[in-house]
Amino acid sequence: MTEQTTAGIRHFLADDDLSPAEQAEVLELAAALKAAPYDSKPLAGPVSVATIFDKPTLRTQSSFAAGIAELGGFPLQVDGNLAGIGVRESIPDVARILGRQVGMIVWRTYGQQRIVELARYAGVPVVNALTDDYHPCQLLADLLTVAEHKGRLAGLTVAFLGDAACNMGNSWALAGATAGMHVRFGAPEGYRPDPAVLTRAAAIAGRTGATIGIDHDPIKTAAGADVVVTDTWVSMGKEDEAAAREAVFRPYAVTSELISHASPDAIVLHCLPAYRGKEISAEVLDGPQSVIWDEAENRRHAQKAIMTWLWRRRPADPEHTADHGAAEDPRR
């Protein structure tokens, strides 16, 4: 669990900020909001939600904007680079300013410590829309998609193939363990999830019945899997390593031949953007086992659920808890 600082305010900064029961509750809420997308408006007023983007975005920006509007709120888009967060103004000052203007803050940024610091001073709930370390909203969408197509999460086997030393690898370890899934990583040496994250995931797995495995062999990893997951080999900021990475990850490409080793009814996930012919073949991405477009749509429903869940748990009088980082979360 990441640092949850401002007294009484729940944030969603990493996947294990939700307990297993809480994760299940959020996913159940997401399914309900998907079934009736305009029936619940907890942000009616409207409450403004600041959505800050330091990195390129399509799914994150559009799904949060549409989702906030569907909840009755107003998405206040902030260009993180124009605002100069951490450069022109300190992160604590930005947090204090935005926390006095909006009811919630969503941030897509770089280092995890940036969003932890923002949450410490914001005085309103903060949602991680992607950092270098975690992509927890994507995982809520992924789990919602798996549950829709498989009818359950606990006990299913997930094969994550390719670059696991990234936010998606870390988040799959934590969120998969929280959901009671068996998560296997098929990745080259040097491209495995953060060891500290794996330690946290193992602790969660001990309580939920999940398992976490790592192997070099992509076929062994994919064998019998219920869910096959991959991600781009060249994450944002790694463009200068593209040629070397493609050579290293080529054996882990999700092709028809590779998924033939998975369960016959396995489904395939990719958080997008995808590069056909590299980490995934066009035949697989556009084929019958792909649920990638459902997964992309589910970003909106899952994010609506976590925003609703956090909003319902904010303190009765948030002004009394704003800033100012004074107290530790009582759960810690």
Annotation says 135 is catalytic: yes
Q: Which residue has the tokens 């080999």?
A: 233
List alpha helices for the chain, DSSP H: 20-35, 59-70, 80-83, 91-99, 112-122, 136-150, 167-178, 195-208, 218-222, 242-249, 256-259, 282-285, 292-312
- Catalytic annotation on 271? yes
Looking at 23, 138, 289, 303, which residue is catalytic?
138
DSSP for 192-234, please give it. Answer: SPPHHHHHHHHHHHHHHT-EEEEES-HHHHHTT-SEEEE--SS
Q: Give me the catalytic one of 299, 300, 301, 303.
A: 299
Q: Which of 231, 245, 270, 301 is catalytic?
A: 231
Give the active site residue among 135, 182, 245, 270.
135
**Residue 164 near residue 229, CB atoms below 8 Å:** no
What token pair was written down for 59? 């799914």
Could you give the CA distance from residue 47 to residue 42 in angstroms, rounded to a whole number?
A: 9
Catalytic residue among 114, 142, 166, 271: 271
Annotation marks residue 231 as catalytic: yes
Is the distance from CB of 179 to CB of 210 less than 8 angstroms? yes
Residues with catalytic roles: 108, 135, 138, 231, 271, 299
